[in-house]
Each structure stands twice: as C-alpha cells, then as structure tokens.
Structure 1
Amino acid sequence: MTAFQQLGLDLPLLQAIEDLGFTTPSEVQEKAIPLLLEKETDLVALAQTGTGKTAAFGFPMIQRIDPNSRTTQGLILSPTRELCLQITQELKHYSKYVKGLHTVAIYGGASIQEQAKSVKRGAQILVATPGRMKDMIGRGMVNINHIEYCVLDEADEMLNMGFYEDIKDILSHTPQDKLTWLFSATMPKEVAQIAKKFMRKPAEITVGAKNAGAITVQHEYYKIGARDRYPALKRLADANPGIFSVIFCRTKRDTQKVAEKLIEDGYNAGALHGDLSQNQRDLVMTAFRKKQIQMLVATDVAARGIDVDDITHVIHYQLPDEIETYTHRSGRTGRAGKSGISMVLITRSEQKKISQIERIIGQSFQMRNIPNGMEICEIQLYHLANNIKNTEIQAESEPFLPAIFDVLEGLDREDLIRKLVSVEFSRFFNYYKKAGQWNESLSDNSEFQDQSEGRGKVRYFINVGERDGFDWMSLKDFIRKQTQLEKDDVFRVEPKDSFAFFNTEEQFKDIVLEAFENCTHKGRKVNVEVSSSGPRNRRGGSGGKKKVHRKGKGAFAIPKEANLKTRNPKERRKINRRVFIS
C-alpha cells in the first residue's frame, strides 16, 4: 500500500497521483486529506506557500463531489488570476480519471460571457477570483446557492488585497450548512474574523509554527547606502551567475524602473505589476517559467500566485510595508523540498525591521557584505571555465579551425589556458578595479562590516556544486560530515553550478584541508583549496581611491544586442570593451 493509499483516496485519484509522479504526501496533505474525507468539518489550515495545499483540499473535494450532477457543488476562491488558473489546471490533472467532473476558472481579464457559458454547460467546481465572482453573481450568471464545499485559498493574501467585503458578499450567497476550508500562510486578525464569522468550530492544522518561514530558506541581509540599491542588486546578480529570482519592489513605478535598468544592462529581466495588460502579464510569466527571464521584478500584488518550484533567490529590493508580507515573498523560493535564499537590501534606518521579521518567522538572518570586485571576478572566472568545459563543439566551426590552430601553434595547454583566462579576466577586472571596494565606499562605520568576513576567517573553494546535486543545506551537511565540525563552524556556503565556496574560522583551516585530502563524491575527487579572494586578499580588487559604483553599466552578462540600446557610438565602444559574455 502506497503512502497516498493510506490517506483513504479512491482508485481514480490514486491513478492520477501515479501519473503525476507523486510518491509521498507533504505534511499538510498527510494531515488534511484524511480529516476532510472522514469528517464533516470546517477547517483552518496554516501552511506556507509551496507545501502542496492545492492537493490537500483538491483531492478531498473531488472525491466528495457527485460527478453525475451538473449542479455547482464546490467553490474555491483565490487571490489572483495566475493562482486561479494554476489551481484549475491542477484539479483537472487530479480528476482526469473521474468521468463527468468539470472544473471552470472564473477570473478577470477574460470574456465574462464565455465563462458564463462554461458554467452553464455544467461545472461541479468553480475556481474564482473574488472580484469576477462577485460580478457574475450580481449578473445572475452563476448560482452558488447549493454548494457543499467552499475553499478560501491564500486567505491572508486575499484580505491583504482588499477583498474582505467581496468575500463576505460572496459567502452570503452560499448555504449555511456548507463545509468551509480555509488555507493561509499566516493568521492575521482579519483571517481570524472570517473564520469566526463564517465557520463552525473548525478543526485546525498547522504545518510549522504560525507565520513561520520555511526551513528550506536561508535568510540574508545586506546593509547599503540609500542611493546604492541598484548597484548592490547588480553585484548580487553578478556573484550568482545561475540566478533565477524574483525581485520585490514596493511600487509599480520602482518595479518598472528596476526592470528596465536591468534589461539595459544586459540581464534577462522582466517586470510584473498591475499596470500591465493581462496579455503582457501572461507573456512575462510564460517567459519566466521557461527561464527566458532570470530576474523577475514584481510588486507584491502582482507576484501573488507565482507557483514556480525552481526559484533560487528572492531579493527584497525594498522591504514590504507589512512585515507579514515578508513570509509570502520569501516563500516563493525553497519550494517543493528544494532550498532557496532570501536576500534583503536595507539601509541603516531599516535595521530594526530585521529583528521584527526574525521574531515573526522564527528564524535568524545572516548579515552579509555586498561581494567585492575580486570575489565577483573569481566566481565569474570559474563560471567561464565551466561553460567552456561543457560547451558542445559546433560542426560549423570546423572549416575555420586549421587557420586558428596555425595562429596558436607553439602554445602548450597551460599557456593557452592562461592567455584565454587573461583575455576575459582583464575585461571585468579593470572594470571592478575602477568601481572600488564596495563596503569601504559605503561607510567608515564598522557596523557595515560583516563579522563573518572579518579577520581570522578563511574562505574555501570546493569543486562540487549544484550539478553534483548539492544545495547550500546539503553541501553544508557534506562539509560538516567530512570535517566533523559543528553547525556554526561552517558558514557562507554558496553553491554555484559546478563549484562552491564556504567559510570557517582560521583555526579550522588545517582540519578542513586535511579532511578533504582523499575525499571523493560519486567516484569523483573532491578538491578543497583556500580561495584567492578570501578576507586576507580583499585589497586586490579595491584599486586605490574609494568611490561608489553608481552608473550601473553591465559588468558581465551583457548580450551583444544590448549595446544597440546605447545611441552614443563612443559609449557603445566603452561598453564593448568591458563586456563579459557568460
């Protein structure tokens, strides 16, 4: 008997689960599904985004509904069009072997007449945004007077978006004896009021602590000058070549501005905010899911409903006004059992907010410095080497190779590598040398210095990374197991594609190097070396006079076509001289 069979699900649902490749239910599914199948009860379930909540309420609803009746029996309210469509798609996958069951999505930005026709043809389950649902009720296009099950998904998000009155109005058209299942990541007072007003002695399920952040997310903050947010963002992007992220801004204007600057500087970026048309939003989200966009800049409202499992970083370009919103933002990464990193850019005046967030999510932040030029240069060089190693040889280049071989005749392997590295290295080393030492340029106040990067710390390079199946959590465990060091003795674990970095106190340097002398992983020799851009060699990238990098011109990942955006020919040539195509 499989784990899902033990939950009491019928054969058609188990067949769909097998097709979907689900093997083990998540904690919220394990708690909610048997309860909702066995008992006629209302439910309040608190669980983070990405923990499998749709299946937790979707499977019980599908199993309880009569597919032979065309009457609408289930209603699911969700905050955004994107989430509404995602839930609808998932329910269709779950019910693929349940003959006669139809699920219809109701949302703004699409033809209300077509949606009404779909409902009239027979829809046992409606998945709706509150605004469009209220509109269709007012026009007499839907009848929810006989529903048996109502789900409020992402309830705190709906209330944050101002849907409280709409939800009350919608629920007033539903039967008193229906079952109401409320799912939320946090439990603010408004959600508690909804539960008290419209639910009867609900059962409660909590996955993790109330309002807590996911344990798979590492939280970091970076102190910056008030005018240095964008240059800091660029450096964080350059220090993470494989970044796939959501960047949060407070306003639509800032969102568009940051996205445009990133695009101008050659990053694969896009904007998502309320001023975009529905078609524009669809195009952006499609490109993001296909990873054609690596840095999605979004407002909190527009980002609600983003359900992408592989997001590596969430970057808080600006902290939200409501501290509880941080939980939702950071929940976009570290999903489906994977790890993620949440980075916060703050000024000195915002420092107290970090402590407030720590209390709410029950986790500690790590203070980090913005990467300096030498650290970025080192990471990008390793990234270049990795790209060269894994690039497939194009047959079309063969006719040109004999002449190339003649030009390079007499160079041995090591000289060729040195020259190749030097050609690329000079392009960005000179750029960052002029940019100055970042953290020194911000302030002479010692509070801007990351204690984990001060004197007596050692930074290491290790030749395994994400391609070897490691994220920051599993790599830290691997290092600790090999060295027998304590949890806090290994820090700043930063995995890249085929390599990684980590730090220890200097007193552990000999232990670390000795522990990895004869270490292998999956038959491959694991090599650990002291990194050349560690704390003792920081001055190499500062290049003399202190100054803040403000212009925001691309340091590395500027595609050739980006240069066409610069009208001044002299400026184009200046940019071309420092382009590094990763």
Structure 2
Amino acid sequence: MNKFEQLGLNESLLKAIGDLGFENPSEVQEKAIPTLLEKDTDIVALAQTGTGKTAAFGFPLIQKINPENRNTQALILSPTRELCLQITNEIKLYSKYVKGLHTVAVYGGASITEQAREVKRGAQIIVATPGRMQDMINRGLVDISKIDFCILDEADEMLNMGFYDDIVSILSTSPDEKSTWLFSATMPQEVARIAKEFMRKPLEITVGTKNSGSSTVSHEFYLVNARDRYEALKRLADANPDIFSVVFCRTKRDTQAVAEKLIEDGYNAAALHGDLSQAQRDGVMKSFRNRQIQMLVATDVAARGIDVDNVTHVINYQLPDEIETYNHRSGRTGRAGKLGTSIVIITKSELRKISAIERIIKQKFEEKTIPSGIEICEIQLFHLANRIKDVEVDHEIDSYLPAIEEVMKDLTKEELIKKMVSVEFNRFINYYKKNRDLSAQSAGNDRRDSSSPRPGDNGATRYFINIGSRDNYDWMSLKDFLRDTLGLGRDDVFKVDVKEGFSFFNTAPEHAETVMDILNSFTLQGRRINVEISKNDGYDKNSGRRDHNGRGGGFSPRGGGDRSSDRNARSERRGSGESFGRSGSRDGGSRDGGSRAPRRSDGFGGGNASRSSSREKRPRRS
C-alpha cells in the first residue's frame, strides 16, 4: 500500500503521485499534509532544502482549492525565478487530474502583460517572486484581496535577498482571515517577525533540529595557503572523478574568474551570477541539469532556488560573509535522502569560522588534507578500470575486431591491459609526480595535534575496496561497516575516503591479514567484495616525510604544456587591471609554475563560462 494513501489525500492526487513514482512521504510531508488537510490553520514548517517541502504544501493546497471557482484562491511566494518556475511545474504535475485547476507563474525577466493576461484568464494558484508580484499589485493587474491561502516558500532566503518590505506589503494587501503557511530552512529574526505580525497562533513543525544541517550531508574542510586555493579546488575535483558539483564564490567577479580558469584547465565548468542575461542563465542551468556541466561556479544569490538532483558535492571555494548562508549552500547536495558532501577550502585566518558553522548546523566537520599526486593517480586508475569493466559494448564494433586483433596479436593479456590503461594514466603520473604538497600544516592548525598521530599512522596499511557512494556509503557509514564487520576498535579503521564505485581506508599493519581474509570472503547485496592492498602508503618521497593524512604532492588531470610566458605577455598587454582568472596573479590563482595537467580520464568534455575557450577540450563521455 502506498503510504501517501494514509495521509488523507484524494484519489486524483494519489493517481498523480503514482505516476510520479512517489512511494514513501518524507518526514516534513508526513507531519504537514494531515495537519493542513484536517484544519484551517497557520503553520510554520522548518525543514532543510531538498526534503520535499513543495509536496508538503502542494498536495493539501490542491485538495483545498475549488477548481470551479476561477478566481485566485492561493498565492505562493518564492525567492527566485528558477524556484518559481520549478514550483509551478511541480504543482501542475500534482494537479494533472484536477480538471479546471490552473497555476500561473509570475516573475521578473518576462512579459508582465502576458503574465497578467494569463492570470485574468483564470488562475486559482499564482506562484510569484515578491518583486514582480508587488509590481503587478501596484499596477492593478492582479487581485489577492480574496485569497484563502498564502504560502511563503524558502522564507529565510527571500528575506536574505532583501524582500522584507515587498513581503510585508503583499501580506498587508491580502485578507486577514486567510491561512498562511510559512516554509523555511532556518528561523532568523526576520522570519520570526513575519510570523508574529501576520500569522495567528501558527503551529510549528520542525524536521530535525531547528536551524540544523541535513543528516544526509557530511562536512569536510581543507586548510591551505591562500595562494593554493585554486590548485586545491582542482585537486579535489580530480580526486572525485564523478563529481557533479556547485562551487560557491563570494563575488560575481571571482565566480566568473574561477569558472574561466577551470575551463582553461580543461574542466567542464560554467559560471552562474547576476551579470548574466536571463537567456544565459537559462542556458547554463539547462546544461547543468543535463549534466553537461560538471562544476557550476555560482554566487549565493544566483544559486538560490537551484533544485538539481544528484549533486554530489558542494564546494565552498570561499565561505559566505554571513555564516548562516552555509546551511543553504550545503542544502544543494544530499537531497531526497541521498548522501552528499559539503567541502570548505579555508586558510588559517578563517579556521575559527568552522567552529561557528558547527554550532549552527549542529554537526562536526572532518578535517582532511588535499590529496597527493600519487593518491589522485591511484584514484583515477581504479576509476578508469571500473569504467572499462562497466562500459556497455556497442556491437557495431564487432566487424572491426579482426583487424584490431591483428594489430594486437603479439601482445599478452597483461601487456594489453597495461597499454590500454596507460593511454590515460601516463598523463596523470607525468604531471603529478613533480607537484608539491599543498598541505597548510606548516601554517599551523589549532584543531589538530600533530604531535599525537592517530593509532597506526606510522607504517599504516592502505586498502582499496570496491564499494562506494553508489552503495549508499559515506565515509562515516563505511567506517562503521568496516569496523563492525572486522571486529576492530573505534580507532583501528581510519583515513576512509569514499568515491562513487570504490573507496580507500587504512588500518595498522597487524590487521592486514584479518582485513583480507574477512572482506574478500564477504558479499554485499549479492555482490562479492574485493579488497586489495594499495601501493600508496601515504609517504611523500619528495619531502621525505609522512603527512597527517598520508598525502603529499598534487596535480590536476588536464592536457599539458607550459603557458606561463604566454600568460605573462597577455597580462602585460592588458595592464594591471587584469582579472585573476586570466593572469593567475590573485589569491588562489597560482598554477605550479604554469604547467597544465593532463585531461581527465572521466571523459567529461569542456564547458563554458559564458565564453568559449580555445584550448583543446577533453572528449565527451561516450
């Protein structure tokens, strides 16, 4: 039995829910839907982004609307054009079997006359951004004086964007006897003021702890020197071959510059910020939703309302000015019950902000160091091997096989495998083996006691295991699984790094036999687990020391060549006002002597940051 049937929804809604494939309501839906159906009440619902809030208010709203009355009965306010259109589309999907019910989106950047015409034809539900809605009210193009419901979605976001006066004015225009439903991720003072002034004894629903972060998101930070911020970003992308991410910068200028540099270095990236036209924004978001863009570099304002499934990572290239905004950033991943990772790249001077964020989100960060070059090479090698193993063969190649076999006839199986993998791997190893350690430990770190290494750090054994995030593990749950399965103590399994199809972990050498014996005879959901001892023991041969997380050098997988002299010449021609995305002269812009990394083995093609790059692009995924 579909659990939505137990919430009191009518047959037309249940039929639409069935078409959408929904089976189990989220926590906020379980709490909000029966309450809103049973009584006419004001409600404040606090839940993280991505927990299903649109359905939580959308289902009961549709059931309470009278489709035979063509007057506007409900107004939904949302912070951005993107979110406004998204809510409108979802309401239309939910109400597809409700004859006569019409929903209209009202937002800036489109014809106000056409939107007014759509409303006049009959729109029981209007979904609007506050600025455009206030404009239409002032012009007499819409009448909300008789609405029965007003929903404020992402209320904290709207107030953060400066819509307080518009919201107060709009609510003042609406009737006092309406029901007001306020949905928000956090409860800052401005949201509390709205609730107190315009709501009547609202019921409060809280999913998780008030203002806390989502339990499906793990939080990591990487301490680097300021000049290495951009290089650190590249290495983190390289260490996660299947990354599908939003990268946050504080300013429009930094956003554009970082995106341009990523493209120049062969990454599939694009910028999203307020200086783009609406057509450019729409094009970028369409490419991102279709996964043609791997790294979307965005400002906080531009990213508000982004709702894209399966974002694996949120990367805070720079922390926001308002620490509370971190909660909204991290909410872009770990949605709909899936696991996600929020990464912060910080310098020593910003370290105190981590503790402040931990207090707000009520979760702890794990401190990590930037992966070494040899570790990235190893990750990319195993990733390539898994891609080869899992690739679907197009049998149109069959007719070419005799000729190919003739070319390869003198190679043994082992030689063939080595040569095939080396096509991609050689570029990585040649680049990364010369690059330096990006760890900022020399800058000091008062969150870590380097004089007291973790048990087993010296001479630790590192393992490769063929399970990862696609098996619904993050580093915490995988560590618990390994510890419990192997019967080891709390600190005996450490340095757990989870990728999509595989992971790495460490134990002390004396546990190696136990690890190999138990795990290599273990099956997970019918699939045999494979564990191998990794050749990378975490020792940095260049510096002659072992760092805290067993990592040393660095690199970034894109195509080679030294362009530093060309960059310098261009900088001299353009003058000192050159943006750091072009000259590489500002914070985070260094490139290890101007060398460029080989193109990645993940097959992602080049993107754009509202301009084209003349550099050779990586081949697109086949």
Matches of 2:325 and 2:491, distance apart in 1: 29
Native 8 Å contact 1:247 1:295 kept in 2:
yes
In the TM superposition, what is the alpha-carbon distance from 1:385 to its structure 2 partner? 1.5
In the TM superposition, what is the alpha-carbon distance from 1:401 to its structure 2 partner? 4.7
Which residue is 1:528 aligned to?
A: 531
1:514-536 deviation per Cα after TM superposition (whole angstroms, max 9, x unaligned): 32131122443312122222324
Which residue is 1:207 aligned to?
A: 207
Letter of the 1:270 counterpart: A
How do 1:230-245 residues align onto structure 2 when only pairs under 5 Å count?
Answer: 230-245=230-245
**Structure 2 stretches of 5 or more lacking a match?**
545-550, 555-589
In the TM superposition, what is the alpha-carbon distance from 1:41 to its structure 2 partner? 1.4
Native 8 Å contact 1:223 1:448 kept in 2:
no
| Worse overlay, 201-210 or 482-491 | 482-491
Which residue is 2:467 aligned to?
A: 464
Which residue is 2:520 aligned to?
A: 517
Matches of 1:477 and 1:164, distance apart in 2: 45
Letter of the 1:178 counterpart: K
Q: 1:563 to 1:2 in 2, by over 3 A?
A: closer
Identical-pair percentage: 64
In the alignment, structure 1 residue 479 sits paired with structure 2 residue 477: no
Give the secondary-structure state (helix, strand or coil) at the position aligned to 1:438.
Answer: coil
Q: 1:26 to 1:552 in 2, by over 3 A?
A: farther
Q: How many residues align?
A: 571
Which residue is 2:558 aligned to?
A: none
Which residue is 2:596 aligned to?
A: 553
Letter of the 1:443 counterpart: S
Which residue is 2:122 aligned to?
A: 122
Which residue is 2:286 aligned to?
A: 286
| Worse overlay, 369-378 or 458-467 | 458-467
| Worse overlay, 185-194 or 407-416 | 407-416
Native 8 Å contact 1:461 1:531 kept in 2:
yes
Give the secondary-structure state (helix, strand or coil) at the position aligned to 2:226.
Answer: coil
In the TM superposition, what is the alpha-carbon distance from 1:412 to its structure 2 partner? 1.3
Letter of the 2:183 counterpart: F
Q: Normalized per residue, which structure has more helix?
A: 1
Which residue is 2:442 aligned to?
A: 443
In the TM superposition, what is the alpha-carbon distance from 1:394 to its structure 2 partner? 4.9
Q: 1:554 to 1:580 in 2, by over 3 A?
A: farther
Which residue is 1:98 aligned to?
A: 98
Native 8 Å contact 2:268 2:605 kept in 1:
no
Letter of the 1:557 counterpart: R
Matches of 1:475 and 1:543, distance apart in 2: 26
Native 8 Å contact 1:519 1:526 kept in 2:
yes
Native 8 Å contact 1:458 1:535 kept in 2:
no
Which residue is 2:139 aligned to?
A: 139
Native 8 Å contact 1:428 1:555 kept in 2:
yes
Which residue is 1:27 aligned to?
A: 27
Native 8 Å contact 2:538 2:552 kept in 1:
no
Letter of the 2:535 counterpart: S
Matches of 1:108 and 1:499, distance apart in 2: 45
Q: 1:184 to 1:332 in 2, by over 3 A?
A: same
In the TM superposition, what is the alpha-carbon distance from 1:397 to its structure 2 partner? 5.1
**Structure 1 stretches of 5 or more lacking a match?**
none
Letter of the 1:512 counterpart: V
Letter of the 2:538 counterpart: P
Q: 1:473 to 1:113 in 2, by over 3 A?
A: farther
Matches of 2:46 and 2:12, distance apart in 1: 28
Matches of 2:410 and 2:386, distance apart in 1: 25
Letter of the 2:159 counterpart: L
TM-score, normalised by the number of residues in structure 1: 0.91
Q: 1:548 to 1:128 in 2, by over 3 A?
A: closer
Give the secondary-structure state (helix, strand or coil) at the position aligned to 2:263.
Answer: helix
1:112-169 deviation per Cα after TM superposition (whole angstroms, max 9, x unaligned): 1111011000001110000100111111110000011101110100000000011111
In the TM superposition, what is the alpha-carbon distance from 1:580 to its structure 2 partner? 9.9
1:300-328 deviation per Cα after TM superposition (whole angstroms, max 9, x unaligned): 11111111120000000000011110000
Native 8 Å contact 1:288 1:296 kept in 2:
yes
Give the secondary-structure state (helix, strand or coil) at the position aligned to 2:431.
Answer: helix
Native 8 Å contact 1:74 1:126 kept in 2:
yes
Q: 1:217 to 1:36 in 2, by over 3 A?
A: same
Native 8 Å contact 1:230 1:552 kept in 2:
no
Native 8 Å contact 1:246 1:313 kept in 2:
yes
In the alignment, structure 1 residue 156 sits paired with structure 2 residue 199: no
Matches of 2:352 and 2:593, distance apart in 1: 26
Native 8 Å contact 1:71 1:124 kept in 2:
yes
Which residue is 1:369 aligned to?
A: 369
Matches of 1:144 and 1:580, distance apart in 2: 53
In the TM superposition, what is the alpha-carbon distance from 1:552 to its structure 2 partner? 6.8
Native 8 Å contact 1:234 1:552 kept in 2:
no
Matches of 2:258 and 2:235, distance apart in 1: 14
Letter of the 1:92 counterpart: K
How do 1:81-92 residues align onto structure 2 when only pairs under 5 Å count?
Answer: 81-92=81-92
Task: Give the aligned CA root-mean-square deviation in angstroms.
Answer: 2.9
| Worse overlay, 103-112 or 489-498 | 489-498
Matches of 1:486 and 1:58, distance apart in 2: 48
Matches of 1:563 and 1:187, distance apart in 2: 38
Give the secondary-structure state (helix, strand or coil) at the position aligned to 1:455.
Answer: coil
Matches of 1:407 and 1:2, distance apart in 2: 58
Matches of 2:597 and 2:202, distance apart in 1: 54
In the TM superposition, what is the alpha-carbon distance from 1:474 to its structure 2 partner? 5.1
| Worse overlay, 491-500 or 245-254 | 491-500
Q: 1:321 to 1:506 in 2, by over 3 A?
A: farther
